[in-house]
Structures are given as structure tokens and as C-alpha cells.
Chain A
Amino acid sequence: MSIAAVEQSGRIWRERGLIYGLGAVVSALSLLPLARLLVESVMVRGTPSLDAFGRVLSSPATWTAFRNSMETALGGTAIAFVIGAIVAIVVAMTDIRARSTFVFCFVLPLMIAPQVTALAWLQVTGPASPLLKAIGMAPPLGSRNPLYSGEGIILLLGIQYAPLVFLTLRAGLRSLPRELVEAGLSSGASKWMVLRTIIVPLMTPPLIAGLALSFVSCIGNFGIPAFLGIPGRYTVLPTLIYQRLSGLGPSALSEVAVLSILIGVVAIAGILLQDLMLHRRDFRTTTSSAQFQPFELGRWRLPTEMLLWATITVILLVPLIGLVMTSLVPAYGVRLTTATATLANFRFVLFEHEAARRAFANSFMLAGGAAVLLALISMPLAYFVVWRRTWLLRLLNLAAELPYALPGVVLSIAAILLFLKPIPMLGISLYNTIWIIFFAYLARFLVLGLRPVVSGYHQLDRALEEAAQVAGASLTFRLRTVIVPLVAPAAVAGAILIFLTAFNELTVSALLWSSRAETLGVVVFSFEQGGESNFAAAMSVLTIVVTLAILLLLAALGRHVPAGVLPWRD
């Protein structure tokens, strides 16, 4: 062989190596844990058996939790639908002012962890509520917080996920060709009639997709039922799994494996419905994509705007104020005045309490490490998926969706099963270390990093790479000098989304944490369970401050981020 031929075949092998390497990483993160979970549910001590299935499915506790899960998920979705759909139609179709500020505020609850939402609302409604005390309306100490109930869970789930319905529906409305609306108006229909006969029927697929997405999120939510349901003795599937596992330890594993498959099946039904509906959204019958003129509200504009901002006040501002007030109160039930307000809670969680201090460091490192590593994996991975259309990685790209789409507890149980025993051959044990959480974060949030990079590649002209190729650059050289610099902004945006989500996360770490490997979510949870709401509130306020700071950073990154990555951006 000539020197050129040797060089050429060396390059081909380097490329194959990269493809198989990426394939192995993605399989290990997305397929392996779920496969292990499926195996566990049909095996008892190494022999095939359906005992675990039988035991779990015949237990009344399972069906109570199942019914409660369905009830809260459907109820929460209904509330999310009413709020999200109305707001989406008003925001996307009328001439209200300060639209982008409003959208940012309305979408913000999505960026705040569910357990923080739950904690904040508890501070507003409970007998110790500094807010109610300040206006002299607090119920007597010792009385029960009305949110400790199924209705409370439904209300908060609805508020948490209304932005999901809002975002899918708004995306649908924005891709609706304006001619369809204008044709209706010019044939004499009133705005109201156009809305009823044209817009709503066309928007049915995205609407159902949004509902399905919200349902899946509600079913998998752990933070809200953990904070409201456990004290209220109202159990849903994720909290049942948590209680079984923390009560009985690894001996309950086959049982919780079956429970998590049960919840996984319900979630998958929702995911499939969402997928089906999103693919129906296709208006390629007309060519122009210009957006329609917003309808003028005229004298109704001011009242509409006031109503919208009142909504923000109720669902965002009041709970946050409640949370901040609690974080400033010196002790449970004390009335907050300028004289009693103190920063002692913050000092305690930042400097004095060992586990809390550690949790800040742990969560920063876990979230930061996952963000950086996943951004680095995403850039070459998405390159092969989008531009090279490598079939192996295209399939794995779909598999990468699973750990994020499925409820977090499902992934946690799968990770425990995978790492309970030391890894074969290496002999390393990850169970009861921080590394099992890190693995779970990598698996769960891979898709968050991947999606922006994939859309980044779609928005780039591939000729940019081909120009480097004809100049003689090998794949690794092209990646380094042309491809990575071009998709880096998208990868950074993805990394920031990962950091935000992982930093505030509770669902995964609640089942995987161990002593010295606590996360922020876990410590907030245990403060609240131990009745120390003031400390929990102080920690939550700090995480919200970090979240807001990062969101502002993203806003500054602004135009470098590919379209469609930041949900609130137009």
C-alpha cells in the first residue's frame, strides 16, 4: 500500500472508532439501565419468575397509589390546560404589550424545581405563614395545611406544568400560516368565529401533544407529592417507590422495579400520544410562513393585561414572597417584622450545617460536571446524527430520549439495580457513592444537551464542513477548527439548561443519595421533613438566586443561541 492509502485507512478507522465509542457511551447511558430494570422484574435470584409482578399487582397499596397518581396527573393536566391554553391564545394572538417579559415570567415556574414550588406554596397557606400572619389571617398554629391533600397536589402540578401546554400551543400558533386566518376574516367571519372554526381545529394536535407532555410530567413528578402527599398520607406511585425503598432498602428492589415499570408504561402511553400528535402538525398546504397580525384588543387591552399580570402575581410572585419571608423568620411560627427579620438561616445553611454546605458543593460539581461532559459528547454525536446520518447513532439518538421522558424514579431504580453489585471485571462499586448520581444525571440529561446541538446543526449550512473537507482537513481537524466553533454556542446553551435542571433536581437523587453524597434537593427535603422550614426556605431562595443569575447569563448569550432553544425567546 502507498503511504497515502495507509494514511487514508488509518483515518477511516479513527472515524469508526469515534462512532463506536459514541455508540457505546449512549447505549450505556440510555439502554443498559432500562434493560437491567426489565430483567429484574421478571427474574427472582437469577431464575425467570413473575412472582414480583404477582405480589405487587395484588397489593391494595399499589392500586391506591396508582389511582392517586392518575387522579393527580389528570387533575393537574386539566388545570395546566386551562391556564396554559388561555394564556397561549391571548399572548400569541393579541396585541398585548410587554409580551416577552410576560412570557419569561410565565415560563419561569418550569425552571424552578417542583419541590421549591411546593415549599413556597406551603409557606403561603400554612398556619405559620408569615404572609398570612402579616395580614392577621393565619389559622391557629397546629391546624392542618390545606395543601396537604390530593387537591393541593393537583393545584400545584397544574401551576408547575401550565407553561408546558403554553409552549407547545404557542409553537403551533406561531407556525400557523397567516393566510389561513386572513382567508377566514376576508370571507366575513368575526375574530371569534375564526378562532372557533379555524384556529382551534388546526391547533388540536399541538394542544393534545401539550396535554400528553404535561400528563407525563405530572405522573413522574416527585417533588410536589413528596412535600404535600407524604405529610398528608396521600401516596402516589413515585412516593410509594421512595417510601418502600427507604423503608426496606435493597430487599424491596424487585418490588419497586415492578412499580417503576408500571409507572413507565403509563408514561410511555402519554409519550406515544404526544409524538403522534406532534407529527400531525403539518401545514405545508400553503407556502408563506409569515405570522398573522395580532388581533387588536382595543379597550379590552388594559383589562386583559391586568388579568395576565394578576395571574403572574398569584402563581409566581406570592409564593416567592412567602418563601423569602419564611427564610427571614428566626423560628417556626414567629411573626416577621423589621425587628425579627434575620439572615441567620442563610448563615446556618451556608456555613454551619455540614450536610447543607456539602450539598452546595456536590450539586455544583454534579451539575457542572454533567453539563460540561454532555456538551462535549453532544457535539460529535449530533454531527453524526444530523450531517452524517449514521444509522447506529440515529437510533441511539432516539434511545437517549427515554431516560429523560420516563419518570425520574424509573431511572433511579434502574441505576441502583445496575450498580448495586460492583461493576464486573473492573470491580468498582458505585452504589452508595456520589458517582451513581453522576451516572444518573448523565443518562437523564443527555437529551437536554443533545437537542440544542441537533437543532444547531440543522440551522448550519453543511457546505461549511465540505469546504474544509475539500481543503484536505481530516474529520478530527474539521471538528476542531470548523465544526465545534460553529456549534459551540448551541452546546453552551444546552450545557446551561443541563446545569439548571440538575442543580435543582430532587427526583433522581432522593433515591440515590448516601451520606456525604447529598444534593441540594435532598437536603431541602430532609429539612422540610424534619420541620425546619426556615432552613429549607433559605436554601431554596439561594437556589432560585443561582437559577435567575444563570437565566440572565443565557439572555446575555442571546443571539448566539440557535432559534428554538430558549423557550421564552421569540
Chain B
Amino acid sequence: MARLILDRVSKSFGDVQVLQDVSIDVRDGEFLAILGPSGCGKTTLLRLIAGFERVTSGEIRIGEKTVSAPNRHVPPEDRQVGIVFQSYALWPHMTVAQNVGYSQRVLGASKDETRKKVAEALGVVGLGGFEDRSPSKLSGGQRQRVALARCLVQSPNLVLLDEPLANLDVHLRASMEDEFSDFHRRSGSTMVYITHDQAEAMAMADRIAVMDRGRLAQLATPAELHDRPATEMIASFIGGGMVLDAEMLASEADGRCVVRLYDADVKARCARRQAPGRLVKLALYPNALSPSADGRSGVACHVTKLTYLGGRFRVEVAPDRAPSTRLFLHVDEVGGIEQGAALRVAVGEGWVIPHAEGLAA
């Protein structure tokens, strides 16, 4: 168990800068998810923490100890970090028990003690009695559990998991998500969990660090990330949000504001007071939109597509003022909505993105 601090960590491979000034403070015992699209540098970050790569600049501290800095590098074997690899990395020439007990063998522990610890760890992951199996005889989910048990025996300061569910089928994923949460609660370890699946991160993590092209875009709790995304990228990456151009009309100190969205004035929340007339980006989730009750207020649109989603419909509309933009909303019944028909859309509370890109200040 330990605190993990990344302090302005950067990493380049040759000329290519893969990570830039990433600072994260992971609390002791916290479950932190690192979330981001493929290629944004998540695996590189994990390999830096584990010590497989050296930092270009910045510092990594585990507990009280600086383990990575430009002139200092503690090798992976001395970091007491556990990893659950995406490919599980179980040694095919060893039995389940030998795999799980490997770190005891490194320490030169006695046979009895090793056996006890292995049995305990396999018990925790629900694989008691599998000691003498070969890893090749196990299913994907069982292999994942063996990898977890191997990590557990090591009693690591810190557990790193690199997209551990990416190789499993959908229904196994849900049960393994519970497994990881249990594992975290029982072991109390600090965990850093890497994923590109926002639902997975939302379901398990205490906090989520969203990465975007090698930078930390936002570090926040799942709820905050959902309600108050810091950038356009986060708003569109999380929960299928839409990001729309709007104009600030008025804002108050407590964060409530009114913006003009096409031909309608709508209420929204914002991080700070902003000058009227300023162009802003408004983040909206589909469930904030609905067909206007009176048919007169709201944004004037035309329906471009209607899709049945089992139990409800997804409606795609284009605002009359911005025909190339698309808005999405869900309705339970079509009742008169059809392709090409005019529709006024009522807009619920949205969020004004604080660090909108590409806008004049």
C-alpha cells in the first residue's frame, strides 16, 4: 500500500513525445482509472510507473521513495509493484501454484510458507484446488484470476492493471469488474487501472484520470467527470455527449447561466462568470433533450433519422440554423415523429466547457 505521485512526467521515444507533463497524485488505497482513447499513452504511463521505461523528465514517487527521475531509475524488480498484464503473462512451463508462488521463490521462502500463501491467494480469487493445473487448461476468466492471485501473493505497494478485460467476452467482463472491486476492497492496495472503456472506469474507479494525446486532460471523480467535463474531448468521449456552439448571454457567480443555442435561449451551468456575448461550447447528453411539450419553444429542427433501439427510439435531428450539425435524443414512442418532419427540441441543463479549444477569448 502506498501513495503514488507522478510529478510533471514526460516521455519521448526519439523525436516523438508520447507523454507531456503528466501530474497525478494517487492516494494510498485509492482505485484510480486511467482512461483515454487508444494510442494516447496509457500503456507508456503504466510502463513508466512499473520501471520498464525511463522518464525523459519529471519524477515518479512510490511511497516515500523516488523511483524514477531523469538521473535515477529503480529497476522494476525493486519497486514492489504488481502488474496484471493484458495477456495475463502466465508462465506456460509452470503450474498454477508455481505461477502464483513465484515471488515467494524469488525471496527464497520456505515451501510450507509458500504453499500457505498460494492457497490463501487462490482462495481469495475463488480458485482453491486449482494448484496443480497447467495455465493452458484454464479459461480466460480463470487465467485472469490466476494473474490476480500471483499479484496478491507479492503483497505489492501498488497494483497496475493494463486493460485486463480487453481479452474477455462481454458477459465475463461484468463479473470480473465485480472481482476487481472486491479485490481492491479486501486487499486495500492502491490500484491503477488502465482502460479505454469509459463504462468500465465509471463503474469501478474512485477517480478517473482522462488522457488525451499524451496529456492529462482531467482528473476527477466519475460523477464530476460526467457533470462537469473540462474539455470538448472529455465531453464527447464520456457517455456519448454532444458538444455544440453557443453564445453566452448572462452568467451568475454561483455558476448558473443562460446561453443562446441556435434559435433558443437555454439554461446551463458554467465554472466561472463569463462575459456576455462570448462564444462558448455547450456539452449536452442525449437525456437532456426531449421533444418540446408545447411545440413552440426550444430549438427548431428537422428529423434526419429514426432508429429503433429496443423499447425506445433514437432520434437524430438537424437544427434549422445549423443543418450540418446533428443532435440525438431518445423517445419512448414516435407519435408523429418521422423522417423529414419538423420537430422542436426542448433543451435541459447543459454544461459550458471551461477550456473550450479553438475559440477567441
| 90-127 of chain B: CB within 8 A of chain A | 90-93, 102-103, 105-107
A466 and B105 alpha carbons, distance in the complex (Å): 16
Q: Please tell me which stretch of A30-38, A471-479, A562-570 contacts chain B, meaning at least 4 of its Cβ atoms lie within 8 angstroms of it.
A: A471-479
A294 within 8 Å of B by Cβ?
no
Q: Please judge, given known A-B contacts A477-B106, A481-B105, whether A469 and B76 are in contact too, CB under 8 Å.
A: yes
Shortest Cβ distance from B81 into A: residue: A470
- B76 cross-chain contacts in A, Cβ below 8 A: 466, 469-470
Please name all residues of chain B whose beta carbon is closer than 8 Å to the beta carbon of A195 when the two chains form the complex: none
Interface membership of B236, Cβ < 8 A? no
Contact A474 to B77, CB < 8 A, known contacts A466-B52, A481-B105:
yes
Query: Are A470 and B93 within 8 A (Cβ)?
Result: no
Q: Output the residue of A467, A471, A481, A482 with the most chain B CB within 10 A.
A: A471
Q: Are A471 and B85 in contact (CB under 8 A)?
A: no
Q: Mark A458-495, 1 if CB is under 8 A from B, else 0.
A: 00010110111111111001000110011000000000
Contact across chains for B105 and A469 when beta carbons are under 8 A apart: no
The smallest beta-carbon distance between B148 and chain A, in angstroms, is 12
Interface residues of A in 227-281 (CB under 8 A from B): none
Cβ-defined partner of B93 (8 Å) among A467, A477, A486: A486
Within 8 Å of chain B (Cβ to Cβ): is A1? Answer: no
Residues from 426 to 476 in A contacting B, C-beta threshold 8 Å: 461, 463-464, 466-474
Considering only CB atoms, which chain A residue lies closest to B154 in the complex?
A: A471
A468's nearest neighbour on chain B, judged by CB, is: B102
B50 at the interface (CB under 8 A from A): yes
Known: A464-B91, A467-B83, A482-B91. A472 touches B103 (CB 8 A): yes
Q: Is A4 an interface residue (CB 8 A)?
A: yes
Contact B78 A4 (CB under 8 A): yes
Which chain B positions have C-beta within 8 A of A464?
89, 91
> B74: CB under 8 A from chain A?
yes
Chain B residues within an 8 Å CB radius of A471: 77, 102-103, 106, 150, 154
Residues of chain A lying within 8 A (CB to CB) of residue B50: 466, 470
In the complex, A463 Cα to B163 Cα: how many Å? 14
Residue A8, interface by CB 8 Å: yes
Q: How far is the CB of B158 from chain A (nearest CB, A)?
A: 10
What's the least CB distance linking A483 to chain B, in Å? Answer: 10
CB-CB under 8 A from B93, the residues of chain A are: 485-486
* Bound Cα distance from A464 to B83, whole angstroms: 11
Contact A472 B78 (CB under 8 A): yes
Could you tell me if B106 and A473 are in contact, using CB atoms closer than 8 angstroms? yes
Q: Is B218 engaged at the interface, CB distance under 8 Å to the other chain?
A: no
| Pairwise interchain contact A466-B83, C-beta atoms closer than 8 A | yes
Does any Cβ of A come within 8 Å of B82's Cβ?
A: yes
Judged by a CB distance under 8 angstroms, whether B75 is at the interface is: yes
With A466-B52, A486-B93: A472-B150 Cβ-Cβ less than 8 Å: no
Chain A CB within 8 A of B80 CB: yes
Say yes or no: A461-B78 contact (C-beta < 8 A), given A470-B50, A472-B154: no
A472 neighbours in B (Cβ, 8 Å): 77-78, 80, 103, 106-107, 154
Closest to A469 in B: B76
**B143 within 8 A of partner (CB):** no
Residues of B within 8 A of A477 (CB): 106
Closest partner residue, chain A, to B82 (CB atom): A470
CA distance A471 to B84 in the complex (A): 11
Q: Could you tell me the distance in whole angstroms from the C-beta of B9 to the nearest C-beta in chain A?
A: 19
Tell me whether B80 and A486 are in contact (CB under 8 A): no
**Tally of A-B Cβ pairs under 8 angstroms:** 67
Given the known interface contacts A471-B106, A472-B154, A477-B106, the answer about A466 and B89 at a Cβ–Cβ threshold of 8 Å is: yes
Does A470 contact B91, Cβ atoms closer than 8 Å? no
Query: CB of B87 within 8 A of chain A?
Result: yes
Nearest B residue (CB) for A485: B93
Whole-angstrom CA separation of A473 from B94 in the bound complex: 16
Q: CA A364 – CA B91 in complex, angstroms? A: 35
Chain A residues near B154: list those with CB within 8 A: 470-472
Which A residues lie within 8 Å of B92 (CB)? 486
Residues of chain A contacted by B150 (CB below 8 angstroms):
467, 471
Determine the chain B residues whose CB is within 8 A of the CB of A11 once the complex forms.
75
Q: CA separation between A464 and B74, bound complex, in Å?
A: 20
B267 close to A (CB within 8 Å): no
Given contacts A472-B106, A472-B107, A477-B106, contact A467 B89 (CB under 8 A): yes
Smallest CB gap from B156: residue in A:
A470
Cβ–Cβ contact A463 & B103, under 8 A = no
Given contacts A477-B106, A482-B91, A486-B92, contact A469 B85 (CB under 8 A): no
Choose from B81, B85, B102 the contact partner of A463 (Cβ within 8 Å).
B85
Task: Kindly state whether residue B314 has any CB partner on chain A within 8 Å.
Answer: no
CB neighbours of B77 from chain A (8 A): 469-474
Considering the complex, give the chain A residue whose CB is closest to the CB of B107: A472
A505 CA / B181 CA spacing, docked (Å): 63
Tell me if B79 counts as interface (CB < 8 A to partner A). Answer: yes
Partner of B87, one of A4, A461, A473, A481: A461
Cα separation A463 to B105 with both chains bound (whole Å): 19
Chain B, residue nearest A464 (CB): B89
How far is A477 from B78 in the complex, measured between Cα atoms in Å?
14
Chain B hits for A481, CB < 8 A: 102, 105
B residues near A4, Cβ cutoff 8 Å: 78
A21 to chain B: closest CB distance in Å? 20
Closest to A462 in B: B89
Tell me the bound Cα distance from A8 to B73 in angstroms: 10
Interface of chain B residues 30 through 85 with chain A (CB within 8 A) = 50, 52, 74-83, 85
Bound-state Cα–Cα, A368 to B86, Å: 41
B169 to chain A, nearest CB (A): 21
Report the bound CA distance from A303 to B90 in whole Å: 51
From the candidates A8, A463, A468, A482, name the one contacting B74 in the complex (CB within 8 A).
A8
Contact B83–A470 (Cβ < 8 Å): yes
Expressed in whole angstroms, the minimum distance between the Cβ of B14 and any Cβ of chain A is 13
CA distance A378 to B30 in the complex (A): 45
Q: Among the listed A8, A466, A474, A486, which residue makes an inter-chain contact with B85, where contact means beta carbons less than 8 Å apart? A: A466
Q: Mark B194-218, 1 if CB is under 8 A from A, else 0.
A: 0000000000000000000000000
Instruction: Mark out the residues of chain A between 312 and 337 whose CB falls within 8 Å of any chain B CB in the assembled complex.
Output: none
Please state if B107 and A461 are interface contacts (CB–CB under 8 Å).
Answer: no
Q: Shortest Cβ distance from B267 into chain A, in angstroms? A: 49
List residues of chain A with CB within 8 A of the CB of B75: 8, 11, 469
Inter-chain contacts of A461 with B (CB < 8 A): 87, 89
Q: Which residues of A contact B85 (CB under 8 A)?
A: 463, 466-467
A525 CB to closest chain B CB, in angstroms?
44
Q: How far is the CB of A8 from chain B (nearest CB, A)?
A: 6
Contacts of A473 in B (CB 8 A): 77, 102, 106
User: Which of B50, B74, B103 is packed against the most chain A CB atoms within 10 Å?
Assistant: B103
Return A458 CB to nearest CB of chain B, in Å: 15
The chain B residue with its CB closest to the CB of A4 is B78
Taking CB as reference atom, which chain A residue is nearest B84?
A: A467
Residues of B near A468 (CB, < 8 A) are: 91, 102, 106
> Closest CB of chain B to A3's CB: distance in Å?
12
Residues of A bordering B, CB below 8 Å = 4, 8, 11, 461, 463-464, 466-474, 477, 481-482, 485-486
**Sample (24) of A-B pairs whose CB atoms are under 8 Å apart:** A463-B86, A463-B89, A466-B89, A467-B83, A467-B90, A468-B106, A469-B52, A469-B75, A469-B76, A469-B77, A470-B79, A470-B81, A470-B156, A471-B106, A471-B150, A471-B154, A472-B77, A472-B80, A472-B103, A472-B106, A473-B77, A473-B102, A481-B102, A481-B105
The 10 closest A-B pairs by CB, nearest first: A463-B89, A471-B103, A467-B89, A463-B85, A469-B76, A485-B93, A472-B106, A473-B106, A472-B77, A470-B83
- Beyond the given A461-B89, A464-B89, could you list 4 further A-B residue pairs with CB under 8 A, ordered by the A residue number? A463-B89, A470-B50, A471-B103, A472-B103
